[in-house]
Amino acid sequence: QVQLVESGGGSVQAGGSLRLSCAVSGRALSAYRIGWFRQVPGKEREFVARIPWYAGTPYYADYVKGRFSVSRDNAKNMVYLQMNSLNSEDTAVYYCAAARISISAYEDWGQGTQVTVSS
């Protein structure tokens, strides 16, 4: 099991930036990938980006390509989501989650952090 804690959410004006952090703990983390998701009330949770814990390249949803960047710091057990050029449609609760590389489902989730973008 993996424990995840998000931080860094807040309010920002359109065009601004935020960096979300995900503190990750657990055993055998090299067997996992970490994903970022977001959810707006009344809508389904949607995928944002993912990165393997140990090695490999990130992958992004089309609507964040060129604006968001996911990175990891294995020494600090942290994963980051840098969000630039934010717009009101990026307003959501953002979650980080962990999935074993061998399976597709994300089994462990953080509590979420609110991001609000005002126009």
Q: Could you read off the pLDDT of 55-112 as tens digits, one per residue?
A: 889 999 999 999 999 999 999 999 999 999 999 999 999 999 999 988 889 999 999 9
Residue 7 confidence (pLDDT) above 90: yes
What type of residue sits at position 58? P
- Which tokens in the block code for residue 17? 């930036």
pLDDT on residue 35: 97
Mean residue pLDDT of the chain comes to 95
Q: What's the rounded Cα separation, in Å, for the pair 50 and 42?
A: 24
pLDDT at 17: 98
Q: What is the pLDDT of residue 56?
A: 87
Assign 23 a pLDDT band (cuts: 50, 70, 90). Answer: very high
